[in-house]
Amino acid sequence: MTIVTAAVIGAGVMGAGIAAHLANAGVSVLLLDVVPKEGDNRNALAEGAVAKMLKADPAPFMSKRAAKLITPGNIEDDLDKLADADWIVEAVLEDPKIKRALYERLEGVRKDGSIISSNTSTLPLSLLTKDMPDRFCGDFLITHFFNPPRYMPLLELVTGPNTKPAVLETLSAFADRRLGKGIVLCHDTPGFVANRIGTFWLQCAVVETLDRGLTVEEADAVMGRPIGVPKTGVFALLDLVGLDLMPKVDASLAATLTKDDAYQSLRRPFPLLEEMIAEGYTGRKGKGGFYRLNKSNGARVKEAVDLKTGDYAPAGKPSLASVSASRRGGPKALVAHDDKGGLFAWAVLSQTLGYAAALVPEIADDVPSVDRAMRLGYNWKFGPFELIDKLGAADFADRLKAEGKAVPPLLEKAAAADGFYRVKDGRQQVLTVAGDYADVERGEGVLLLSDVKLGSEPLAKSGSASLWDIGDGVVCLEVHTKLNTMDPDVFKIIAKALDIVGKNYKALVIYNEGSHFSAGANLGLAMFAANVGAWPMIEDMVAQGQKAYTALKRSPFPVVAAPSGLALGGGCEILLASDAVQAHAESYVGLVEAGVGVVPAWGGCKELLSRLARDPRRPKGPMPAVAAAFETIGMAKVAKSAFEARELGFLRREDDITFNRERLLADAKKKALSLVEGYQPPEPVELTLPGPSGKASLAFALRDLYAKGLATEHDMVVASELADVLTGGDDADMTEPLPEETVLKMEREAFMRLVRTPGTLARVEHTLETGKPLRN
Amino acid sequence: MHKNVVIAGYVRSPFHFASKGDLVKVRPDEMAAQVVRGLLGKTGIDPKDIEDLIVGCAFPEGEQGLNVARLIGFLADLPISVAGTTVNRFCGSSMQSIHMAAGNIQMNAGEAFICAGIESMSRVPMAGFNPLLHPGLAERFPQAYISMGETAENVAQKHQIPRARQEEFAVASHQKAAAAQAAGKLKDEIVAIQANGASVELDGCIRPDTSAAALADLKPAFSTDGSVTAGTASPLTDGASAVLVTSEDYAKAHGLKPLARLRSIAVAGCDPEIMGIGPVAASRKALERAGIAAGDLDIIELNEAFASQALACADELGLDLAKVNLDGGAIALGHPLGATGARITGKAAQLLQREGKQLALSTQCIGGGQGIATVLEAA
């Protein structure tokens, strides 16, 4: 069975977000809620939810068009329409009576073979299915999404004893491939996996912070980056999810966990928290939380709560020796330090990781499921067992013993052997519950470069990039600089790739497993050269980049780029130079050079122009493509999804989109292999450009933007150079198409003129220092 | 050789916001054809007698291209013998089509003309799909290509029209239009447009609730330190209009009911950077040719491209604002560039009859620095 149409019941934050993500995947969704007591519009709740999501940032939708796949309705008038749904997701109030009453109504209308699931985060499946008919129990499971459903990759699935295997199979395949979710199969235990451990960790960290007299800034400085957790740490995370959620989650877990569960002993009153919630300090959605941005007196001052007095004061920047030590020595150095940060870290990690170790196989079948849940659901860089390995399983167990604390049996086994994970014969293995090691399983269609790297040596390597044999005649070019920026060492490896693939392989895939595909050119290098006046060095870097990218384009084998995360500037231009793109749906693509005061000069202007000109939906004539490119590059537009990248022209319609990050490399490889047979490199293009007439009209548009205050002084300088490149310069005329080489030359020349201006240098410097654009 | 020329009928489509109104998905040629058919039905003229279909359009390309007037004739099932020509004088295009018909009638080159106007600002962007300026002219005389918003600011500054006065004028325009709509006074001129299975029957741009306070909150639209806002400028609009222009003799002989008689016409150029003042020179000429003074006018249709320029023109010409745009102007109703001239001239003729008055003026400003004006008298 395939899922073509779906329905979501409950248009709250989660229900609406799930509906939006289903729409992102191209599924038609019926979104229903109750009929509001007031007003004439019976669909007001669902319609309001869609309207709100269209304005939300970060956007639940990957494109405005996706919103049209949602049909809002209400549960009274539209119940019959549920007969069409292949999958019905229930996301109503966390009240078993309400849910069960709804299920009974659904049973009357839903078609045979449809799947029905609950997005509950607190109610056990056994309670929801108790005494329900067999048909329902067979087609029912829990699908627990994390907020926001588009961006959080974790999907916890819980099945009951009567759930049909085909139901689980259909749903997990769909959620994995189409929704891009990382599936974790959980047992029907309180909080399932991620929230069981996550809530314990948060509660434990709060308690230890209070007991040890740390400030919230200190606690977050320790419980964040040093252990591979997002920098929100503990308190800023609570601000993000809402302070009022904490007592609710706590009460629910406490009520369902056994009395002897370790979590129960962590519970204690937190009067300040109750006070804050009562006064509306519920976090970022309220008046503030443990932190707030004080905007009074015209300034924006970040303040933090004093946990003793409850008063806000400007947030401090804690300086802890343990945190400094962790920069080199990682979590191990952190917990080894005996300052208050190190002791706090050990107290929280020993309890939390120990708790996790005691819960396998109670909450999930195996260790990787738990690690995966925490990585994908809480954005931890390492799961609990991976963290224990970082600390050393034996050391961890020894320290617990020395402190007279219990060592869970699974941890004993890991301590006595090679830890929870090991590499054997080039393959990653994991400790099983039985105590032996087994290969870590990857699903079909999943290929990870990290696995390839465990089992092989690179074909070539520089400080900035490497080439890997990923099998079947395909080579992967991996950039591995900071933010994966492009530099001359990357170009050297591109040259190697041309040689190696040309001789012995079939195709090249450009891919890496960093958070971001590439943030662009290495600005630091350019700034350094500019500071010493080494203009020829900059010019050489521009020329080398053009040469490398052009060579990729002309290579006698297919090149497929597979971005995920940011692909900006030079990182976007390498996509444009590829024969095809296999993009992760969460790709953020843009030619943002204007933000740092230059124009794209590694072929970006040329490529975007020629792509926009080829788009048959655009009006004819020399200006539409030029005007669109001028707007996209001039405003440094960044597509906020692969779908938006397609709308802006960075992706072609024949380029493909992969939702599941773990499937990206395999999909890109498949795409590359599909292009091998009969491959012909593209011919150089000619561009019909309007010349000075077109430039004059762009200049007028620009003048109006300046008058409206939408362009700055230096924007005018940069945009004027951009207009020159995009219109083909003074000698261009629409009756004489220009060879692409001419446009490439103009890109280089405009770049070099701009990079020497004080305005551009100020922008580069500002961006390097702050990571933000300068509006000068 | 002198033949009297009369306006023997006037209709228009509802006007709607470009890009978000109810006419976004309607091709302009199709919309204009429905309006032309509406005019034929309303006046009862025998289509075989029509000499020419003259269609004004400010950006005659895309769906408005290919001599769209001829295509509108086909779409409206006009007899093959009726010719078709497309006219461009930017915003003055369809008033120009009336002037051309009048000239032809006086030259004894036809007895009856359909003078229409169209603009889908949703489907053909202002400045067209391929703006390609003369680089030399742009350099030497940049005001040739100046944006309309900037001219509105220039006029506001030069003629000292403060923002509050512009806003008061805009609010009045909306109130007059809303009152006219509520009283059913606009029904008579509107031809419902059948669009994708729906019938669009009412104007879509009027905001009855607009207040001076609400407008005062808007940011300047064209210049950071300017006085002109989206609230005191006419909106981008989709719409079509048509009037029947015949010789008075023909109208009498065929039982048509003339709304008004043309008394005089004029066009005039002015500095492009203050194009909004164009109606002053054009109206002075037309009034002089009619042998009357501004004070003699009973009815005035002064196009509201911007409140600043409309007020500056009213001040300069000494117009009584109580006689200007009785049923609201372009700020409230909308300004589908090529369709406006026929609307305001047809409207002035209709108002003469409805209000039982003697003399009327319709006039408007034109990008590039021009004005156009028509003086009408009771038929």
Domains and CATH numbers, chain B: 5-122+236-378 (3.40.47.10)
Q: Which residues of B touch A621 (CB under 8 A)?
A: 129-130
Query: Which pTM value belongs to this model?
Result: 0.91
The predicted structure's pLDDT at residue A639: 97
Q: For residues A645 and A763, state if they share a domain.
A: no
Q: For residues A127 and A156, state if they share a domain.
A: yes
State the Cα–Cα distance between residues A11 and A47, nearest whole angstrom: 9
- What are the tokens at A692? 């000075």
Burial of A683 (0-12, 13-18, 19+ CB in 10 A): exposed
- What are the tokens at B12? 């228009």
State the Cα–Cα distance between residues B171 and B192, nearest whole angstrom: 27
DSSP strands (E only) in chain B: 5-12, 16-17, 50-56, 83-87, 112-120, 193-195, 198-200, 237-247, 260-269, 299-302, 359-366, 370-378
Q: Is A425 within a domain?
A: yes
Q: Is A746 within a domain?
A: yes
Q: For residues A305 and A248, state if they share a domain.
A: yes
- What are the tokens at A525? 């290098």
Q: Which residues of B touch A624 (CB under 8 A)?
A: 129-130
The predicted structure's pLDDT at residue A295: 83
Task: Name the pLDDT band for B244 (thresholds 50, 70, 90).
Answer: very high
Task: Name the pLDDT band for B184 (thresholds 50, 70, 90).
Answer: very high
Burial of A762 (0-12, 13-18, 19+ CB in 10 A): middle
B313 given a catalytic annotation: no
- What are the tokens at A64? 């405005």
Quickly tell me which residue has 């500019």 as its tokens: A530
Contact B132 A695 (CB under 8 A): no
Neighbour tally for B182: CB within 10 Å: 11
The CATH number that applies at residue A522 is 3.90.226.10
User: Please, which residues bridge with residue A89 across strands?
Assistant: A8, A117
Q: For residues A266 and A372, state if they share a domain.
A: yes
Nearest to A693 among B133, B142, B220 (CB): B133
Q: Give the angle subtended at the CA of A546 by the CAs of A687 and A674, to the nearest 5°.
A: 80
Domain end point (choices A629, A658, A681): A681
Task: Name the pLDDT band for B374 (thresholds 50, 70, 90).
Answer: very high
The predicted structure's pLDDT at residue A540: 93
Q: Is A727 within a domain?
A: yes
- What are the tokens at A495? 């040259």
State the Cα–Cα distance between residues A207 and A210, nearest whole angstrom: 5
Whether the CB-CB separation of A586 and B96 falls below 8 Å is answered with no
- What are the tokens at A36? 């509001």
- State whether ipTM is beyond 0.90: no
Q: For residues A469 and A493, state if they share a domain.
A: yes
Q: How far is A698 from chain B (nearest CA, A)?
A: 9
Confirm or reject contact between A707 and chain B (CB < 8 A).
yes
Q: Give the angle subtended at the CA of A526 by the CAs of A521 and A531, to the nearest 5°.
A: 165
Of A466, A455, A451, A444, nearest to A660 by C-alpha is A444
Spell out the alpha helix ranges (H) of A479-618: 488-504, 523-531, 535-554, 570-576, 604-614
State the Cα–Cα distance between residues A731 and A744, nearest whole angstrom: 15
The CATH number that applies at residue A255 is 1.10.1040.50
Q: Is A687 within a domain?
A: no
Quickly tell me which residue has 């390492």 as its tokens: A382
- What are the tokens at A555? 């290579």
Domain that includes residue A586, residue range: 449-592+638-681
CA dist A58 → A62, A286, A498, B111 (Å): 10, 18, 39, 64
What three-state secondary structure class fits B142?
A: helix
The predicted structure's pLDDT at residue A671: 98
B91 given a catalytic annotation: yes
Whether the CB-CB separation of A34 and A74 falls below 8 Å is answered with yes
Whether the CB-CB separation of B365 and B309 falls below 8 Å is answered with yes
Instruction: List average pLDDT for each run of 10 residues in chain A, which is 776 residues long.
Output: 93 96 98 94 96 95 96 96 97 94 95 96 94 96 96 97 96 97 97 96 96 95 95 94 89 93 92 92 90 84 92 92 94 95 97 97 96 97 97 96 95 96 94 94 93 95 97 98 95 96 97 96 88 91 96 97 97 98 98 96 97 88 94 96 97 96 98 97 94 95 92 96 96 93 97 96 91 88
Q: Is A606 within a domain?
A: no
State the Cα–Cα distance between residues A154 and A660, nearest whole angstrom: 11
Contact B132 A697 (CB under 8 A): yes
B184: left (phi over 0), alpha (psi -120 to 50) or beta: left
Q: Is A620 within a domain?
A: no
The predicted structure's pLDDT at residue A269: 87
Torsion angle (degrees, nearest 10) of CA A619, A624, A625, A631: -140
CA R_g for chain B: 19
Confirm or reject contact between A620 and chain B (CB < 8 A).
yes
Contact B132 A707 (CB under 8 A): no
Domain end point (choices A186, A213, A233): A186
Residue B1 pLDDT > 60, yes or no?
Answer: no
Contact A621 B127 (CB under 8 A): no
State the Cα–Cα distance between residues B263 and B290, nearest whole angstrom: 6
DSSP string spanning A283-295? BTTTTB-SEEEE-
Contact A619 B135 (CB under 8 A): no
State the Cα–Cα distance between residues A485 and A571, nearest whole angstrom: 7
The predicted structure's pLDDT at residue A509: 98
Euclidean distance between the first and final Cα of chain B, in Å? Answer: 20
B138 to chain A: closest CA residue: A696
Cis amide leading into A361 (omega within 30): yes
Q: For residues A181 and A205, state if they share a domain.
A: no
A623 to chain B: closest CA residue: B130
Burial of B366 (0-12, 13-18, 19+ CB in 10 A): buried
Q: How far is B138 from chain A (nearest CA, A)?
A: 7
A690 to chain B: closest CA residue: B132
Q: Which of B16, B57, B91, B174 is catalytic?
A: B91
Q: For residues A454 and A373, state if they share a domain.
A: no
Q: For residues A158 and A205, state if they share a domain.
A: no
Q: For residues A9 and A135, state if they share a domain.
A: yes
The predicted structure's pLDDT at residue A652: 94
Residue B220 pLDDT > 80, yes or no?
Answer: yes
The predicted structure's pLDDT at residue A533: 87
The domain total for chain A is: 4
CA B126 vs. chain centroid, Å, equals 16
Nearest to B224 among A695, A703, A708 (CB): A708
Q: For residues A305 and A406, state if they share a domain.
A: yes
What three-state secondary structure class fits A358?
A: helix
Domain end point (choices A127, A155, A186): A186
What three-state secondary structure class fits A189?
A: coil
Spell out the alpha helix ranges (H) of chain B: 28-43, 68-75, 93-106, 135-140, 148-158, 163-182, 212-216, 248-253, 278-290, 307-317, 330-333, 337-355
Q: For residues A200 and A327, state if they share a domain.
A: yes
What three-state secondary structure class fits A238?
A: helix
**Sequence letter at residue A160:** G
How many residues are there in chain A?
776
Q: Is A622 within a domain?
A: no
Q: Is A438 within a domain?
A: no
Spell out the alpha helix ranges (H) of A615-712: 623-634, 642-648, 664-674, 692-707
The predicted structure's pLDDT at residue A14: 95
What three-state secondary structure class fits B70?
A: helix
How many residues are there in chain B?
379
Nearest to B132 among A620, A690, A699 (CB): A690
Q: For residues A154 and A213, state if they share a domain.
A: no
Whether the CB-CB separation of B356 and B266 falls below 8 Å is answered with no
A699 to chain B: closest CA residue: B138
Specify the DSSP element, H or E, that contains A352.
helix A340-358
